[in-house]
Amino acid sequence: MAEIAFRNVGKRYGGTVALSDASFTIHDNEFFCFFGPPLSGKSTILRLILGLEMPDHGEILIGGKPVNAVSPAERNVAMVFQNLALFPHMSARDNIRFPLAERKVPQAEIERKLADVTAKLHIGHILHKQPAQLSGGERQRVAIARALVRDPVAYLMDDPISALDARLREETRVELKRIQRELGKTLIYVTHDQEEAMSVADRMAILEAGVIRQVGAPLEIYDHPASTYVARLLGSPMMNILPSTASGRDIRVADGAIAVEGLAGVAEIAEVGVRPEDIKVSAWTQGQSGTPSRVYEVEPLGGYTVVTVDAGPSRVRALMRGQPDIRPETMVALSCDAAAVHLFSRNGTALSR
Ligand SMILES: Nc1ncnc2c1ncn2[C@@H]1O[C@H](COP(=O)(O)OP(=O)(O)OP(=O)(O)O)[C@@H](O)[C@H]1O
């Protein structure tokens, strides 16, 4: 059992709060991501799990047992190096054997573990190669094999693919997800890339300045962000957060520039959120009811198009499929289904209706 849990864990460095009263549980065999902007506390969490840092307060549990007083070696969680670095002068085989040879594990046991992990990761045919002769995906499998050979209860990765170019990053994250599924081991993963977090994680925790703001499955958080902070972090283009005014129970969004049929509000509402893919854009025709808006810019991206519109006091982005016939400076009508609208209070927390 490799469930990893934090109970009210806090960590300061001098006057800086790196992690504030964090509580979460990472389940066994889960691909769990920590996601947040730079300096939000992601690496601090990994160092606390590894035992490289001690919490100021709170309890860390691995497999149900408190480990605050347990040394890093005895915790048996493995860190996969940043950018999946391998020793360049060693073959894949020697790279994988290294952590065991270093610990003076008997030769026969090294060979047995090597055979086991190579079979699991399907890399038997590349063991003789040097890292420079391997593809990005193969290097990744070898780097993971080197971490796994110790048979850790969980393995940790700190922004492991951030230095790769965009295309290789996309390939690598698919590969990572597949490897984790095949191995069925707990993988704890740090990234500052929202698309990467969404694509790989079974569940994720979103951080802001040392505070965990929301924990859940990526799509659950995407569909039900608990705050404007979280809403803005997930999705590209990001969610439009728009001022709203309520008259009675009716809500006017962006001074009426976005028509939302049947949207009923709650008293505390201050802002509404609408995802770009939920905004409908249609050409404005003279004499039509509602409020026209001017198209500010159009970005054709092939499979879809981003249309930026000056809607009342706000600039709104809409994501449209394909290549619609919409030009800059023309007038359009904007609308949205009531069900797709998120309501937020003045302090940015989500309101239920
Ligand atoms: N050893 C340290 N000494 C002093 N302050 C530290 C130390 N390690 C982290 N911090 C501070 O703690 C906070 C959290 O840092 P942390 O490295 O955990 O963030 P992060 O989200 O991993 O950032 P990044 O994405 O840039 O790696 C930051 O304000 C950082 O400056």
- Domain definitions of the chain by residue range: 4-227, 240-351
pLDDT of residue 80: 80
Ligand 1 probe mutation, 13, 158, 207, most atoms within 8 A of CB: 13
Assign residue 60 a region: left if phi > 0, alpha if psi is -120 to 50, beta otherwise? beta
Q: Which residues contact 287 (CB under 8 A, 6 or more apart)?
A: none
Can you tell me the distance from the alpha carbon of 186 to that of 68, in angstroms, rounded to the nearest whole number?
A: 20
**What kind of fold does domain 4-227 have according to CATH?**
Rossmann fold (3.40.50)
pTM for the model:
0.88
The per-residue pLDDT for 263 is 73
Contact 68, 54 (CB under 8 A): yes
Q: Which residues pair with 299 in a beta bridge?
A: 306
Q: What is the ipTM of this complex?
A: 0.96
Residue 217, pLDDT score: 98
Closest CA to ligand 1's atom 28: 39
| pLDDT at residue 287 in the model | 83
Identify whether the C-beta of residue 216 lies closer than 8 Å to the C-beta of residue 204: yes
Taking CA atoms only, the protein residue closest to ligand 1 atom 12 is: 18
Query: Relative to the CA of 40, which ligand 1 atom is closest?
Result: 21
CB-based burial label for 124 (10 Å; 0-12, 13-18, 19+): exposed
* Tokens coding 172: 């690598």
CA distances (Å), origin 337, targets 12, 76, 277, 296: 45, 50, 11, 23
- Please identify, by atom number, the ligand 1 atom nearest to the C-alpha of residue 210: 14
Q: What is the largest CA-CA distance in the chain?
A: 85
| Alpha-helical runs (H) found in the chain | 42-50, 72-75, 92-102, 107-121, 136-148, 166-183, 194-200, 218-223, 228-233
Digitized pLDDT (tens) for each residue of the chain, 353 residues in all: 689 999 999 999 999 999 999 999 999 999 999 999 999 999 999 999 999 999 999 999 999 999 999 999 889 898 886 656 788 999 999 999 998 988 889 999 999 999 988 988 889 999 999 999 998 778 878 888 888 888 888 989 988 777 777 887 888 788 888 888 888 889 999 999 999 999 999 999 999 999 999 999 999 999 999 999 999 999 999 999 998 877 666 677 888 888 887 777 666 778 999 999 999 999 998 888 888 999 999 999 999 999 999 998 899 999 999 999 999 999 999 999 989 999 998 899 998 87
CB atoms within 10 A of CB 75: 20
Closest residue by CA, ligand 1 atom 3: 13
The residue type of 87 is F
- The whole-angstrom separation of Cα 37 and Cα 49 is 20
Residue with tokens 């705050």: 227
- Residue 172 has, within 13 A of its CA and on its CB side, a CA count of 25
Question: Does residue 38's CB lie within 6 angstroms of at least one atom of ligand 1?
Answer: yes
Cα three-residue angle 285-290-291, rounded to 5 degrees: 85
Q: Is the CB of 140 under 6 A from ligand 1?
A: no
Would you mind telling me the total number of residues written for the chain in this entry? 353
Q: For residues 42 and 207, what is the distance between their CA atoms, to the nearest angstrom?
A: 7
Domains 4-227 and 240-351 in one fold: no
Q: How far is the CA of 142 from the centre of ligand 1 (A)?
A: 29
Q: What is the pLDDT of residue 83?
A: 58
**8 A C-beta contact, residue 186 and residue 153:** yes
Q: What is the CA radius of gyration of the chain?
A: 25
CATH superfamily of 240-351: Nucleic acid-binding proteins (2.40.50.140)
Q: Is the distance from the beta carbon of residue 43 to the nearest atom of ligand 1 less than 6 Å?
A: yes
